Amino acid sequence: MSTQYRVQNPVTDEVIETFDSATDAEVEAALAKAAAAYRDWSTRPIAERAAIVARVGELFKERKDELAAIAAEEMGKFLSEAADEAEFSGDIIGYYAEHGEEFTKDQEIPTFSEGKAVIRRLPIGPLLGIMPWNFPYYQIARFAGPNLVLGNTIILKDAEICPRSALAVQQIMDDAGVPEGVYTNLFATHDQIATIIADPRIQGVSLTGSERAGSIVGAQAGQNLKKAVLELGGSDPYILLDTDDVPAAAKLAWTTRMYNTGQACNSNKRMIIMEDIYDEFVAELEKLARAAVKSTPDNEVEGAYSAMSSRAAAEGLREQLDRAVAAGGNLRVGGELADAGAYLSPAVITDIPVGSDIYYEEFFGPVATVYKVTSDEEALELANNTQFGLGGTVFSQDTERAAAISRRLECGMANVNTPAGEGAELPFGGVKRSGFGRELGPLGMDEFVNKQLYYVEK
């Protein structure tokens, strides 16, 4: 058997443990169990499913410290951030357990005939989830929570570098009483993923990951006429029109960008700053970058930064910075690759030429990219000059001024005077090359659903 799943500590680059990929027989067994389990799970009362799923959410919270330790070793996440993620995952799952019946209730619609017309929201069958490493619990929770309550069954393919996280989630499902086959973790290969998507028992696929992965999976889903939800990359604009406290504004922008060592899809990857505060803002960022302290996941001191997810990720980001400088960018501070491990010192870069190839790329790591603008219209034009469309935010002491720009942002999530609106109840997703479909909130339970017309003639 080939071995691609592994725990490789990014702090030391040491391979701690390896796992064999699934055999083709194990893939077939997972498909058969998911299909068989669906026949029972989907016919249970939704309140019964919700009660089991509620216990899943409780276990995420009860085991948050154990889950945090796993994520810290696998991908370098600070323990506090990982524990918060596990707790938030529990909240998300609990949200759907509590509100799932409301979100799926029959919806009567007016009809011009004598009959009665109702839209029923029903499950559609076994689903495939392909999840990333950067939020190994949260990403699973927002896919599994609504779909398990709805009555779908799930085969979950997690990222190759977080197998222990995946197994810990499977254990939670088992311990909560989720029946066998309703949720199955599978260490599948890329070839096996294609086989699973093509299998007639699978009715949909959800992927969170890179633009490249999304294009491949989206094509496979389309070829096989399967419903897909894709949450891909982002190059979110973070517009600062004015402020009466530049240092505080810079610190908020910086801490937002450095969260999860900059490895978040909807992070503020392009800071767009009005010219009268630009120089002071950049100087504050440089000060924060120079004060950054290389640390480890268990030592979150002031200004600490941890390792990125892998040495390859750190080297790839450094290569992007090199290309940005070659194109005319000014790397003001940071971006230094450590001799060992997956550390790249937090960086501030300005003057990347708008329209250059590197301008359109996503910097997935601890890099603050800053642009200067002279007007609201210029800020809006720059914000929308991207192939991505995940989130965006506008800051101003004049809320309506910020709102006017936010209404014209070409993105799935527009925010005013906050880095992002986040909560189990708030939908998440994008447009353009950031993908399609929504997770979280009521919309997160309205994707993999049969919106069946039920019509009765009087």
Q: Which of 29, 16, 142 is nearest to 70 (CA)?
A: 16
Q: Which of 160, 162, 211, 265 is catalytic?
A: 265
**The token pair that represents 202 in the structure block:** 């699978």
Work out the angle at residue 142's Cα, subtended by the Cα atoms of residues 306 and 122, and round it to the nearest 5 degrees: 170
The yes-or-no answer on residue 162 being catalytic is no
59: helix, coil or strand?
A: helix
Q: How far is CA 227 from the centre of its chain?
A: 19
Q: Which of 358, 311, 298, 299 is nearest to 337 (CA)?
A: 311
Q: Which of 73, 87, 231, 284 is catalytic?
A: 231
Please state, in angstroms and rounded to a whole number, the distance separating the CA atoms of residues 202 and 64.
32
**The token pair that represents 42 in the structure block:** 């989907």
Please state, in angstroms and rounded to a whole number, the distance separating the CA atoms of residues 139 and 161.
15
Which residues are paired to 428 by β-bridges? Answer: 439
The yes-or-no answer on residue 231 being catalytic is yes
Burial class (CB in 10 A: 0-12, 13-18, 19+), 10: buried
Q: How far is CA 179 from the centre of its chain?
A: 27
Burial class (CB in 10 A: 0-12, 13-18, 19+), 355: exposed
267: helix, coil or strand?
A: coil
Q: Is the CB of residue 24 less than 8 Å from the CB of residue 189?
A: no
Sign of the Cα torsion 125, 99, 156, 56 reads negative
Q: Which residues are the active-site residues?
A: 231, 265
